[in-house]
C-alpha cells in the first residue's frame, strides 16, 4: 500500500511514524514544502500539555502524548541514540473560575478527568492562597490544579524528533507543495506538486494545519479549518517568583514560566477573533498593553512591574464549529483522511492522532483510542463535539 501524507509538521510526522511502526510494508511519503518549518504552527507553538479537558477522549489523547515526552527513548530513539532533548518541564496547569457557572464547569470536568486517572485537585480561594501566595485569588470561585502529567516542552524539537523517527523507520520526505489533486470518480488518485511531479497513492492524509481549507479546495473538497493568528508574548518580572504552572485565567489570558521569565497570551472569545488574518511576524504589541498586561497584573500583583522582552506569533489551525480536530475520511473522498483543525491542542495530541490515523489506514478502524467522535462527518450533520476547556 502507498500512503502520501500532505504536510510535514507534528501531525504529518506523527502519522508517518505510526504508519511505519504498524506496518513496515507500507510505502509512506511525506510532502512538505519547507524543511525549516518556518511558518508551521508546530514550530511556533506554546507547546504545553494538559490533562485538564472536559472531554475524556481529549484527556486520553494527552495521556498518550505524555508517554512520548516521558519515554522518548522508547518512542523516538533512532539506532539506540536518544531523541533530541525535548525540554519537558512538568509544572502543571491551573484553571481558574471567577463565577458560579465557571466553577460548575471545573467541577464537571474534574469528574471526567478523575474517571480517566488524571491527577487533578480542586481548590477553593483559601486553599489556592495557601499554595500560591503570589496569585490574587479573592475573586476566584474555584481553581483546578494539575499535580502531574502536565507542563510544557520544546515544540520544534518534538516535531523534529517525530520526523527523525519517521524517516528512520523508512518514510520518504519529499520537498514540494501540493498544487493540484487528481480525482477520478470520487477517490483521490494522485496529487501534483508545484514542480509538476505527481505522487500517486492509495490513501492520502491531509495534515496541513492552518492551510487545510486551501489545500482541500484544490480537490473541490470542503475542509473548514482556517488559520487564526495567535501571539505569544515573553516578559520578565523584577520580583522573583517561583516557577508557575500554566495559569488559564477566567479572563481568557494565560501565562506560564519560561526559563527565568514568562510567556503569555490571550484566547479571543467567540466572534472576537481577527478575521482579517494579519500576516505573521508583526505581533500586535498594542494587544499586550491593552489586553494582556492589565489582566496579568490583576491576577499577579507583581506583574504590575513586568517588562515585555519579546513576542512571536503563529497560526492556530481553527475548526470554528467546535475547536476540535477533524480526524478520519473526508465524507466526499473516502481515501483522503483528515488530521487537522486542532486549534490550540494539536501538538500535545499529535502522537495519539498519528497512531489513530495509522490504525484506520492499516486495520480499517481504530484500535487504541476510539477517534470516531472526531469524524469530519459531524460537520455536515452540524453536530459539534463539545470541549469546554478551549484555550
Ligand atoms: C501560538 C500558538 C500556541 C500554541 N500552543 C499550543 C499548546 O500549548 N499546546 C498544543 O498542544 N498546541 C498548541 N498550539 C497548536 C499546535 O501548535 C498545532 O495544533 C499543531 O502544531 C498543528 O500541527 P500540524 O502539523 O497540523 O500543522 P503545522 O505544524 O502548521 O504543519 C502543517 C504543514 O503543512 C505544510 N503545508 C501547507 N500547505 C501545503 C501544501 N500545499 N502542500 C504540502 N504541505 C503544505 C506547511 O508547510 C506546514 O509545515 C499552538 C499554536 C500556536 C500558533
The DSSP annotation for 143-179 comes to EEEE-SS-EE--HHHHHHHHHHHHHHTTPEEEE--EE
Q: Tell me what the pLDDT averaged over the chain comes to.
A: 96
Residue 275 has pLDDT above 80, yes or no: no
Ligand 1 pocket: which of 31, 36, 39, 42 to mutate (most atoms within 8 A of CB): 42
Calculate how far, in angstroms, residue 283's C-alpha sits from the geometric centre of ligand 1.
18
Confidence of residue 270 (pLDDT cuts 50, 70, 90): low
Ligand 1 atom with the smallest distance to the CA of 152 is 8
First to last CA, the chain: 38
pLDDT for residue 218: 96
Ligand 1 pocket: which of 317, 318, 341 to mutate (most atoms within 8 A of CB): 317
Calculate how far, in angstroms, residue 267's C-alpha sits from the geometric centre of ligand 1.
17
Residue 92 has pLDDT above 90, yes or no: yes
pLDDT for residue 269: 73
Calculate how far, in angstroms, residue 43's C-alpha sits from the geometric centre of ligand 1.
7
Calculate how far, in angstroms, residue 87's C-alpha sits from the geometric centre of ligand 1.
19
317 lines ligand 1 (CB under 6 A): yes
Calculate how far, in angstroms, residue 351's C-alpha sits from the geometric centre of ligand 1.
14
- The rounded distance, in Å, linking the Cα atoms of 2 and 232 is 39
Residue closest by Cα to atom 5 of ligand 1? 46
The structural domains of the chain, ordered by start, are: 2-83+154-225+322-380 (3.50.50.60), 90-151+227-316 (3.30.9.10)
Calculate how far, in angstroms, residue 99's C-alpha sits from the geometric centre of ligand 1.
33
Read off the pLDDT of residues 150-176 as tens digits, 9 standing for 90 and up: 999 999 999 999 999 999 999 999 999
232 lines ligand 1 (CB under 6 A): yes
Calculate how far, in angstroms, residue 205's C-alpha sits from the geometric centre of ligand 1.
15
Across residues 307-313, what is the average pLDDT? 96
- The rounded distance, in Å, linking the Cα atoms of 225 and 345 is 14
12 lines ligand 1 (CB under 6 A): yes
| DSSP three-state, residue 390 | coil
Residue 292 has pLDDT above 80, yes or no: yes
> Pseudo-torsion of CA 179, 184, 187, 193, nearest 10°?
-20
93 lines ligand 1 (CB under 6 A): no
User: Does residue 231 contact residue 254 with C-beta atoms inside 8 Å?
Assistant: no
The model carries a pTM of: 0.97
Amino acid at each position: 500500500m502507498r500512503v502520501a501524507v500532505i504536510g510535514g509538521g507534528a501531525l504529518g510526522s506523527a502519522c508517518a511514524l505510526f504508519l511505519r511502526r504498524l506496518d513496515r510494508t507500507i510505502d509512506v511519503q511525506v510532502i512538505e514544502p519547507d524543511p525549516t518549518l518556518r511558518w508551521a504552527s508546530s514550530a511556533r507553538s506554546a507547546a504545553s500539555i494538559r490533562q485538564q479537558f472536559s472531554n475524556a477522549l481529549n484527556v486520553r489523547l494527552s495521556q498518550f502524548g505524555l508517554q512520548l515526552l516521558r519515554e522518548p527513548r522508547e518512542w523516538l530513539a533512532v539506532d539506540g541514540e536518544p531523541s533530541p532533548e525535548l525540554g519537558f518541564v512538568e509544572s502543571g496547569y491551573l484553571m481558574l473560575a471567577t463565577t458560579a457557572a465557571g466553577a460548575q464547569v471545573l467541577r464537571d470536568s474534574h469528574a471526567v478527568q478523575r474517571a480517566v486517572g488524571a491527577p487533578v485537585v480542586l481548590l477553593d480561594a483559601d486553599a489556592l492562597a495557601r499554595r500560591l501566595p503570589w496569585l490574587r485569588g479573592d475573586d476566584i470561585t474555584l481553581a483546578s490544579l494539575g499535580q502531574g502529567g502536565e507542563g510544557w516542552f520544546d515544540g520544534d524539537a518534538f516535531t523534529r524528533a517525530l520526523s527523525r523517527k519517521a524517516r528512520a523507520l523508512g518514510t520518504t520526505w519529499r520537498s514540494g507543495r501540493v498544487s493540484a489533486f487528481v480525482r477520478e470518480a470520487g477517490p483521490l488518485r494522485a496529487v501534483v506538486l508545484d514542480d509538476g511531479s505527481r505522487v500517486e497513492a492509495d490513501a492520502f492524509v491531509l495534515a496541513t494545519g492552518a492551510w487545510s481549507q486551501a489545500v482541500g479546495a484544490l480537490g473541490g473538497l470542503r475542509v473548514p479549518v482556517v488559520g487564526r493568528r495567535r501571539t505569544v508574548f515573553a516578559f520578565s518580572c523584577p520580583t522573583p517568583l517561583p516557577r508557575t504552572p500554566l495559569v488559564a485565567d477566567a479572563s481568557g489570558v494565560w501565562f506560564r514560566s519560561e526559563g527565568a521569565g514568562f510567556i503569555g497570551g490571550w484566547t479571543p472569545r467567540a466572534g472576537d477573533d481577527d478575521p482579517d488574518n494579519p500576516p505573521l511576524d508583526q505581533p500586535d504589541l498594542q494587544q499586550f498593553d491593552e489586553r494582556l498586561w492589565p489582566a496579568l497584573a490583576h491576577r499577579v500583583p507583581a506583574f504590575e512591574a513586568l517588562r515585555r522582552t519579546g513576542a512571536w506569533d503563529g497560526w492556530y489551525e481553527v475548526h470554528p464549529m467546535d475547536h476540535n480536530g477533524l480526524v478520519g475520511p473526508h465524507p466526499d473522498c473516502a481515501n483522503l483522511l483528515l488530521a487537522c483543525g486542532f486549534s490550540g491542542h494539536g501538538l500535545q495530541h499529535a502522537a495519539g492522532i498519528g497512531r489513530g490515523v495509522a490504525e484506520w489506514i492499516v486495520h480499517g478502524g481504530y484500535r487504541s483510542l476510539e477517534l470516531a467522535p472526531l469524524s469530519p462527518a459531524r460537520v455536515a450533520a452540524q453536530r459539534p463535539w463539545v470541549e469546554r476547556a478551549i484555550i
